[in-house]
C-alpha cells in the first residue's frame, strides 16, 4: 500500500504550515488510494479533526512511514533511519548551520528531496511559498512603518494595521489595507513623509506578492531614474505612494563601465559592482525581495548606512528584508527574526540592534518564516503545486539504484541524497561538509 506521513513543524513555535492540507489529502486518498498519516499537532493551522474528517489517520509518531512530507528543517534528534524526507532543507548553498542536519541524514541513510530544487526544464521553480512571503512581509513592513512613524510623532493611517499573523486570513488583512488606501486618498499623508516612496528589489514571486499588497493603496509606479529627481521637482502628491521596482541593471553596474549584460551578471558577477547607493537616500521604505548570495555585492552596507546617518541624509524608515539572508544583501540583518519578535532598530553608528520599533536608526523586519503568518492561505497554495507529484513520490521504490529510480524529472532533479549519499548533481556539497567536519 502507498503510504505517506505528514510531520508536525517543530523548528519554530509559530510555524503552523502544512505541506498538504485536509482537502488535498482527501483528493490523494480518493484518487490514488494513498494512506496518509498525520502527526497530531495542537498548533498546526489545520486541526487534527479537519484531517480526520477527510480520511487521514491521526498518529502519535511516523515510525512506520518511509516517506515523510514537511516544510522546514528537521531537528537532528528527530531524524530517523531509512526515511525519505521532503522538506526545505536549506543546504544547497552549503549553509554551515544546516551541515550537521545533512550529515545526520547521511548517517541515517536517508533520502532527501528539497522543494527549492523542484524545477522545470527552464529551471523555473514549481513549488514555492515565495508569493506568500511577499504578501506577509509587505503587510508586516507597512505595520512596522506605522509603529515607527507613530513613535516619531507622525500620525499615519498605517497605525490601523496589525502584524500579519493576527489576521485570520489574507482577505481580512486586505480589508485593512484598503481602508488605509481610502484614508490616504481622502486625507493625504503627513508632509514630513513626502514623497512617500517604496522601493522593491527584484521581480520574481516574492516581489509579485509585495506588489499585490501595494496595488490596494494609491500607488504610482515610477522608474529608478525618476526617483532620483522626484523630490527636487516637487511635483509629487500627498495622496499617492510612489513605487519603484529595481531590476539587476539598476542594482549593479559593470566595473569597466560597459553596458549592463544580464547573462554576464549571472555568470560572472565579479565583473560588477553595486549601483544601489544612489537610490537609498531617496527611499522611505525598502522591500528587499531579490535573490542574493555572496558572489554579489551587498545592497546596503553598514559603512554606507553610517555615512548617510552621519550626513543627515537618511530618510529610510523601514526595511522589509523579506529574502532575509543574515549578514547578506542587507549587511545589518544580523539574523532572521521570529514572528513573536519580528522587528529591530539598527543604529548606524553604534552598529547595534535593539528589538522593537524604538531608538535611533532604521527599523528592520526580517522574519524568516513569513508565509507562516498566513498559514492556511499559503499552505493551500503550496499544496496545489505539490499534490500532482505526491503519488509519484509515494509510488517510488527508493531502495532501487539511483539510475533506476522511477521519479518525474523535476523530482529527481531535487533529490539531494539517495539512501544517505549525495546524488551527482549535489556532489559539490561534500566540500562544505568537509569544511564543517574540520
What is the residue-averaged pLDDT of the chain?
95
What's the chain look like in SS3?
CCEEEECCCCCCCCCCCCCCCHHHHHHHHHHHCCEEEEECCCCCCCCHHHHHHCCCEEECCCCCCCEEECCCCCCHHHCCCCCEEEECCCCCCCCHHHHHHHHHHHHCCCEEEEHHHCECCCCCECCCCHHHHHHHHHHHHHHHHHHHHHHCCCCCHHHHCCCHHHCCCHHHHHHHHHHHHHHHHHHCCCHHHCCCEEEEECCCHHHHHHHHHHCCCCEEECCHHHHHHHHHHCCCCCCCEEEEEECHHHHEEECCCCCCCHHHHHHCHHHEEECCCCCHHHCCEEEECCCCCCCCCCCECHHHHHHHHHCCCCCCCEEEECCCCCCCCECCCCCCEECCECEEEECCCCCCEEECCCCCCEEEECECCHHHHCHHHHHHHHHHHHHHHHHHHHHCCCCCCHHHCCCCHHHHHCEEEECCEECHHHCCHHHHHHHHHC
Cβ-based neighbours of 271, under 8 Å, separated by 6 or more? 254, 255, 256, 264, 265
Per-residue model confidence (pLDDT) at position 235: 86
**pLDDT tens per residue, range 206-230:** 999 999 999 999 999 999 999 999 9
Q: For the chain, how big is the Rg over CA atoms in Å? A: 23
Q: Is the pLDDT of residue 290 over 80?
A: yes
**CATH superfamily, domain at 3-118+376-437:** NAD(P)-binding Rossmann-like Domain (3.40.50.720)
pLDDT: which is higher, 134 or 232: 134
Give the three cell numbers for residue 392.
509519484
Percent of the chain topping pLDDT 90: 91
- Asked if domains 3-118+376-437 and 130-373 share a fold, the reply is yes
> What's the pLDDT band for 129 if we cut at 50, 70, 90?
confident
Q: Is the pLDDT of residue 437 over 80?
A: no
* Global confidence as pTM: 0.86
Neighbours of 70 (CB within 10 A): 26
Per-residue model confidence (pLDDT) at position 438: 62
**pLDDT tens per residue, range 307-358:** 999 999 899 999 999 999 889 999 999 999 999 999 999 999 999 999 999 9
Per-residue model confidence (pLDDT) at position 436: 79
Mean pLDDT of 170-196: 97
Mean pLDDT of 169-176: 96
CATH architecture of 130-373: 3-Layer(aba) Sandwich (3.40)
Mean pLDDT of 244-254: 96
d(CA 159, CA 145): 8
**pLDDT tens per residue, range 375-419:** 999 999 999 999 999 999 999 999 999 999 999 999 999 999 999
Domain spans, the chain: 3-118+376-437, 130-373
pLDDT: which is higher, 247 or 232: 247
Per-residue model confidence (pLDDT) at position 178: 98
Amino acid at each position: 500500500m502507498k503510504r505517506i506521513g505528514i510531520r508536525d513543524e517543530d523548528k519554530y513555535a509559530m510555524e503552523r504550515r502544512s505541506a498538504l492540507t485536509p482537502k488535498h489529502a482527501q483528493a490523494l486518498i480518493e484518487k490514488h488510494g494513498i494512506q496518509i498519516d498525520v502527526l497530531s499537532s495542537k498548533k498546526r493551522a489545520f486541526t487534527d479533526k479537519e484531517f480526520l474528517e477527510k480520511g487521514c489517520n491521526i498518529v502519535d509518531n511516523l515510525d512506520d512511514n518511509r516517506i515523510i512530507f514537511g516544510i522546514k528543517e528537521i531537528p537532528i534528534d528527530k531524524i530517523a533511519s531509512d526515511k525519505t524526507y521532503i522538506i526545505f532543507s536549506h543546504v544547497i548553498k552549503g549553509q554551515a548551520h544546516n551541515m550537521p542536519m545533512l550529515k545526520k541524514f547521511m548517517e541515517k541513510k536517508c533520502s532527501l528531496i528539497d522543494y527549492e530544487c523542484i524545477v522545470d526544464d527552464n529551471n523555473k521553480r514549481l513549488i514555492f511559498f515565495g508569493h506568500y512571503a511577499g504578501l506577509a512581509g509587505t503587510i508586516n513592513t507597512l505595520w512596522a512603518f506605522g509603529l515607527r512613524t507613530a513613535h516619531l510623532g507622525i500620525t499615519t493611517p498605517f497605525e490601523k494595521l496589525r502584524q500579519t499573523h493576527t489576521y485570520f486570513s489574507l482577505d481580512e488583512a486586505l480589508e485593512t489595507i484598503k481602508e488605509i488606501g481610502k484614508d490616504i486618498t481622502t486625507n493625504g499623508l503627513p508632509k514630513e513623509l513626502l514623497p512617500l516612496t517604496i522601493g522593491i528589489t527584484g521581480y520574481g514571486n516574492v516581489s509579485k506578492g509585495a506588489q499585490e499588497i501595494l496595488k490596494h493603496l494609491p500607488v504610482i509606479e515610477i522608474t529608478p531614474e525618476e526617483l532620483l529627481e522626484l523630490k527636487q521637482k516637487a511635483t509629487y502628491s500627498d495622496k499617492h505612494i510612489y513605487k519603484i521596482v529595481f531590476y539587476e541593471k539598476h542594482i549593479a553596474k559593470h566595473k569597466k563601465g560597459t553596458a549592463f549584460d544580464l547573462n554576464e551578471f549571472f555568470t560572472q558577477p565579479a565583473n560588477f559592482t553595486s549601483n544601489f547607493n544612489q537610490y537609498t537616500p531617496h527611499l522611505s521604505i525598502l522591500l528587499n525581495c531579490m535573490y542574493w548570495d555572496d558572489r554579489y555585492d551587498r545592497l546596503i552596507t553598514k559603512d554606507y548606512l553610517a555615512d548617510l546617518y552621519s550626513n543627515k541624509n537618511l530618510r529610510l524608515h523601514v526595511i522589509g528584508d523579506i529574502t532575509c539572508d543574515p549578514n547578506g544583501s542587507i549587511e545589518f540583518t544580523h539574523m532572521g527574526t521570529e514572528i513573536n519578535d519580528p522587528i529591530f532598530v539598527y543604529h548606524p553608528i553604534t552598529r547595534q540592534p535593539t528589538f522593537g520599533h524604538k531608538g535611533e536608526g532604521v527599523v528592520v523586519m526580517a522574519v524568516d518564516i513569513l508565509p507562516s503568518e498566513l498559514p492556511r492561505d499559503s499552505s493551500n497554495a503550496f499544496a496545489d503545486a505539490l499534490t500532482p507529484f505526491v503519488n509519484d513520490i509515494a509510488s517510488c521504490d527508493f531502495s532501487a539504484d539511483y539510475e533506476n529510480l522511477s521519479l518525474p524529472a523535476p523530482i529527481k532533479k531535487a533529490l539531494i541524497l539517495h539512501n544517505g549519499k549525495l546524488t551527482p548533481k549535489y556532489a559539490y556539497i561534500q566540500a562544505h561538509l568537509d569544511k564543517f567536519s574540520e
